[in-house]
């Protein structure tokens, strides 16, 4: 009985931490959009990950887009993002794009287009809040 209770508490803690991570992810992209420093990044690599996605729309793939940008002090920071597309509108290597980063910790960065407020941030916040509430509600 005691072992089962410890396992239950461990699972609740783990799922609560995952919920906190969802909330932090949503808030960090919103904060990057509002307070991030804008810089020009060079796309260094675009590669297709896996095969065709199993969705209703055929011909869609997951792409990993790698980029690099320079800070004012000359340091070079690398980043990447994942895009779901048919490949037509994916930017090619050696093209430039805008990126936003925190001046106090430039390793937290994202493409500028991903930092605009939208449905994805709200979904992250709602999922995170749901996980925290669901795992920590009082049971009588």
Residues 6+ apart with CB under 8 A from 97: 40, 41, 43, 67, 91, 111, 112, 113
pTM to 2 decimal places: 0.78
pLDDT tens sequence across 82-139: 988 886 767 778 889 999 999 999 999 999 999 999 999 999 999 999 999 999 887 6
């Amino acid at each position: 009985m005691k072992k089962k209770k410890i396992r239950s508490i461990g699972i609740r803690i783990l799922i609560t931490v995952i919920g906190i991570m969802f909330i932090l992810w949503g808030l960090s992209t919103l904060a990057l959009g509002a307070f991030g420093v804008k810089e020009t990044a060079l796309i260094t690599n675009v590669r297709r990950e896996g095969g065709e996605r199993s969705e209703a729309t055929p011909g869609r793939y997951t792409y990993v887009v790698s980029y690099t940008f320079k800070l004012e002090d000359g340091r070079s920071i690398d980043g990447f993002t994942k895009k779901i597309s048919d490949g037509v509108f994916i930017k090619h290597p050696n093209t430039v794009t805008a990126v936003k980063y925190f001046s106090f910790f430039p390793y937290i960065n994202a493409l500028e287009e991903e930092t605009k407020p939208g449905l994805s941030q709200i979904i992250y916040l709602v999922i995170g809040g749901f996980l925290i509430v669901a795992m920590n509600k009082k049971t009588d």
